[in-house]
């Protein structure tokens, strides 16, 4: 239960004078909905009531600023307790101005220190008031900043569906760095990009010339941000007098169309599987092939606006099992893969490739996703694969070939995209497919990233 006193203290904690805080429409409604009359004068709850008619649902927040934001604050000995509090103060002001609400931005907080700590997740609080109280409660941890470690942890652990990430809404980390990071943040930047997280760096008190010798990598900002185009970095000269930097930062964080890193290999690819149903495979190995397909498919964010999966089984003949647009949830895609029935017959891989390019990729050719074809076969193709594979490459489809048992290496190389070493795989046993699934996922993400540059 909120009291006058705690509200007052949280406003004071923010360094806002009461009139300044009350000027904010969000606060007027917070105060008035709670039945508070803090000040006589021009701002009364009646006035706020009129305002409320224009914006009927305050709980909804700022609908024009849809973002899921993690503030990654610096909790190192380097920043110290005093500036740590100024940092919390600044983050509180940013959070307040964002317009947090059920349909507006959601925020959480992670503290970088020797070991990163997620202080609260996106779903813990969906009102500005609650977020402010939570920020105020965060205790200083100390140690090295280990910002790279903390950023990686945030990209991997903070943005899960369980912790409140919303579909189709940009994921953002705002990293506060006092001085310079104590560890390498380049790799963390790559991981964050792979996870579709837009990294912003707010650097405060840049190293002075005398300190530059101690900085591991002076280009650290450009290496960690989503894109080094200037949009994703922001500099504040010192922790004192930061109020004027609140609004420009909020404006950046609310610029949806600039969030380029939200497109990822997990949500922006079409993957078609070409599955060998020839007699030599056998029922139990055929099941292992389906498991391989599932293991890859389940990693991707399948939806009508996200990743799409299709599968074709082939012998001499081709059977489209499901197309890219048939199923738009992961559950349905995994279920249909489980239910694929083994055909049994010959092996005409060339025809199967041509069929898939024409009938499976054809209808979605102009879509925004990057196209991949994953071919699994256990033997020599009866027909020539070279021309059909070349046509697939020419159509912008990146081809992975996976051979098992008797599949000839030459065929695998002919089918795979360049560079062949990273797109053609071979295993003697069907059980070897499990490891290859991981390689394919990594490869798809690598190809995707390269195509974005």
CB of 132 to ligand NAG, least distance (A): 13
> Given the complex with ligand NAG, which of 117 and 319 has the nearer CB atom?
117
> Given the complex with ligand NAG, which of 124 and 359 has the nearer CB atom?
124
User: CB under 6 A: which stretch of 83-91, 116-124, 243-251, 310-318 binds ligand NAG?
Assistant: 116-124
Q: Tell me how many residues contact ligand NAG (CB under 6 A).
A: 4
> 377, 404 in Cβ contact below 8 A?
yes
- H/E element holding 283? helix 283-297
User: CB under 6 A: which stretch of 7-15, 120-128, 354-362, 408-416 binds ligand NAG?
Assistant: 120-128
Binding letters toward ligand NAG, positions 131-170, x by CB under 6 A: ---x------------------------------------
> 339, 371 in Cβ contact below 8 A?
no
> Given the complex with ligand NAG, which of 13 and 231 has the nearer CB atom?
13
> 120, 134 in Cβ contact below 8 A?
yes
Closest CA to 196 of 254, 148, 258, 264: 264
Q: Is 121 in the site for ligand NAG (CB under 6 A)?
A: yes
Select from 27, 120, 140, 448 the one that contacts ligand NAG (CB under 6 A): 120
DSSP string, 352-418: HHHHHIIIIIGGGTTSSSEEEEEEEESS--SS--HHHHHHHHHTTEEEEEEEETT--HHHHHHHSPS
Q: Going by DSSP bridges, is the β-strand pair 318-322/308-314 parallel, antiparallel, or unpaired?
A: antiparallel
> Given the complex with ligand NAG, which of 90 and 121 has the nearer CB atom?
121
Closest CA to 372 of 350, 397, 393, 353: 397
Radius of gyration of the chain (CA): 27
Q: Is 361 in the site for ligand NAG (CB under 6 A)?
A: no
Select from 85, 124, 332, 422 the one that contacts ligand NAG (CB under 6 A): 124
- Identify the residue whose tokens are 């069929």: 355
Q: Is 324 in the site for ligand NAG (CB under 6 A)?
A: no
CB of 123 to ligand NAG, least distance (A): 7
CB of 50 to ligand NAG, least distance (A): 35
> Given the complex with ligand NAG, which of 124 and 303 has the nearer CB atom?
124
237: how many CB neighbours lie within 10 A of its CB?
12
> Given the complex with ligand NAG, which of 55 and 124 has the nearer CB atom?
124
> Given the complex with ligand NAG, which of 130 and 184 has the nearer CB atom?
130
Please report how the helices 386-394 and 349-356 are oriented relative to each other, as an axis angle in degrees rounded to 10: 20
Cis peptide bond prior to 305, omega within 30° of 0: no
User: How remote is the C-alpha of 375 from its chain's centroid?
Assistant: 28
User: CB under 6 A: which stretch of 25-33, 119-127, 190-198, 280-288 binds ligand NAG?
Assistant: 119-127
CB of 124 to ligand NAG, least distance (A): 4
> Given the complex with ligand NAG, which of 157 and 358 has the nearer CB atom?
157
Interface with ligand NAG by CB under 6 A: which residues? 120-121, 124, 134
């Amino acid at each position: 239960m909120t009291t006058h006193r705690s509200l007052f203290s949280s406003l004071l904690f923010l360094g806002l004078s009461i009139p300044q805080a009350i000027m904010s429409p969000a606060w007027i409604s917070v105060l008035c909905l709670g039945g508070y009359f803090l000040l006589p004068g021009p701002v009364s709850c009646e006035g706020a009531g009129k305002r409320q008619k224009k914006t009927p649902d305050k709980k909804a927040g700022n609908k024009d600023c849809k973002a899921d934001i993690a503030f990654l604050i610096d909790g190192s000995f380097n920043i110290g307790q005093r500036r740590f509090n100024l940092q919390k103060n600044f983050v509180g002001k940013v959070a307040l101005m964002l317009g947090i609400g059920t349909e507006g931005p959601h925020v959480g907080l992670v503290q970088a220190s020797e070991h990163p700590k997620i202080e609260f997740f996106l779903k813990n609080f969906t009102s500005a008031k609650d977020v402010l109280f939570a920020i105020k409660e965060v205790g200083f941890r100390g140690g090295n900043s280990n910002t790279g470690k903390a950023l990686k942890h945030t990209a991997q652990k903070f943005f899960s569906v369980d912790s409140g990430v919303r579909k189709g809404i940009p994921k953002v980390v705002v990293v506060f760095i006092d001085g310079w990071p104590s560890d390498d943040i380049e790799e963390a930047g790559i991981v964050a990009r792979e996870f579709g997280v837009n990294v912003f760096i707010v650097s405060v008190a840049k190293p002075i010339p005398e300190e530059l010798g101690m900085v591991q990598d002076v280009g650290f900002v450009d290496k960690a941000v989503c894109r080094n185009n200037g949009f994703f970095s922001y500099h504040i000269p010192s922790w004192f007098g930061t109020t004027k930097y609140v609004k420009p930062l909020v404006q950046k964080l609310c610029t949806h169309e600039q969030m380029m890193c939200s497109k990822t290999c997990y949500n922006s690819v079409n993957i078609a599987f070409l599955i060998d149903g020839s007699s030599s495979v056998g029922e139990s190995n055929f099941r292992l092939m389906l498991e391989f397909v599932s293991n890859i498919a389940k990693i991707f964010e399948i939806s009508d606006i996200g990743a799409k999966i299709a599968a074709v089984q082939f012998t001499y003949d081709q059977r489209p099992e499901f197309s890219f647009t048939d199923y738009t949830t992961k559950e349905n895609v995994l279920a249909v893969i489980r239910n694929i029935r083994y055909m049994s017959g010959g092996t005409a891989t060339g025809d199967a490739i041509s069929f898939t390019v024409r009938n499976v990729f054809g209808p979605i050719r102009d879509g925004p996703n990057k196209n991949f074809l994953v071919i699994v076969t256990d033997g020599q193709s009866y027909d020539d694969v070279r021309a059909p594979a070349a046509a697939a490459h020419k159509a912008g489809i990146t081809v992975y070939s996976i051979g098992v048992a008797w599949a000839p290496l030459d065929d695998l190389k002919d089918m795979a995209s360049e560079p062949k070493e990273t797109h053609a795989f071979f295993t003697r046993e069907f059980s070897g497919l499990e490891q290859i699934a991981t390689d394919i996922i990594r490869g798809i993400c690598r190809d995707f990233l390269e195509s974005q540059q």
